[in-house]
Amino acid sequence: MSNIATHRIRVGACECLIVKDGTAGNPNLDEFMQPVPPELADYEMFMEGGLMLIDDADRRILLDAGNGPNRGPRTHAAEAAFAAADITPASVDIILLTHGDPDHIGGLLSADGALVYPNARFILHQDLWEAWHAPPEAGLYFPSQAAAVRRLVELLRDRLVDTGSLVDTECEVSPGIRAIPALGHRVGHTAYLIESSGQRLLHIGDAAFDPVFLQHTGIPNVRDTSPEQARDTRRMLVERAIAEEAAVVGSHFRLPGVGKLTRRGEDRYTWIPVASN
Ligand SMILES: [Zn+2]
């Protein structure tokens, strides 16, 4: 049970449960940010994996599905954390996918290849869905994902027809939830803006691996598929969060991973963590 870590924050009438799925540890900042400015020479980056479930009494909405059971024991803590919080996969109504990396979609499939969330409506970017139809050689997903991607296409094909599940431009996908294409990290990467009773939360997925990338929006992350596009996306997301007075959460920020941003200068912002319960 020691691996279970949960945090709760409120956004208007929504209760957001954030659970730990895995820990990636302390990579060196220069493995990602290049160039590292002198003032960040001693910055200690920290990455872990968090999943967010939003409950507004009418709906349960899951942001990404985590590693799942097929990626080894170091990860995949979310399943136990949700079970401990009395949340069953069958009770999830909507799954919002930010992108298709294995630590975000692995948990959609059980060890025997069944769909873990039988009743959920899926929202994802059109380009991601099309990428899943491409052969592994196209490089749009990791070769190790080929079998899982094939299986997901089989299982989701009928669910995504004419339901507004595939987005390619900003739109409201469910009352109070806007999908915002946030391209550059991976194909079809999408952020989601949740609004309830005048409060807002912007989930940016992997648009930034650590808040330091939001504090210095002018510097690329070389691990993004399209580093310059992803840098411009971070600038857009940060400005959007400030304009909307939205809290921001990232998939790999130190949990609970929620904060607010204020402008400090050109491409410079301050990150203020938001306390959770
Ligand atoms: Zn990730």
Average pLDDT for 99-116: 94
Tell me, in angstroms, the distance from the centre of ligand 1 to residue 79's CA: 17
Tell whether the model's pLDDT for residue 72 goes beyond 80: no
C-alpha of residue 141 to centroid of ligand 1, in Å: 13
Backbone dihedral region of 203: left (phi > 0), alpha (psi from -120 to 50 degrees) or beta?
A: beta
List of domains in the chain = 6-273 (3.60.15.10)
Q: What average pLDDT score do residues 23-42 get? A: 93
Ligand 1 mean position to 185 CA, how many Å? 10
| Pick from 47, 76, 144, 69: nearest CA to 113 | 69
How does the average pLDDT of the chain come out, rounded?
A: 93
Adjacency order of strands within the sheet including 121-125? 6-11, 14-25, 47-55, 60-63, 94-96, 121-125, 166-167
For the segment 78-96, what is each residue's pLDDT rounded down to a tens digit? 888 888 889 999 999 999 9
pLDDT digits (tens, 9 = 90+) for 133-188: 999 999 999 999 999 999 999 999 988 876 789 999 999 999 999 999 999 999 99
Say what the pLDDT of residue 1 is: 42
Residue 164 alpha carbon to ligand 1 centre in Å: 25
Among 239, 188, 235, which Cα is nearest to 208's?
235
The pLDDT value recorded for residue 3 is 65
Residue 187: both structure tokens together: 């194909």
CB 106 within 8 A of CB 71: yes
- From ligand 1's centre to the CA of 190, what distance in Å? 12
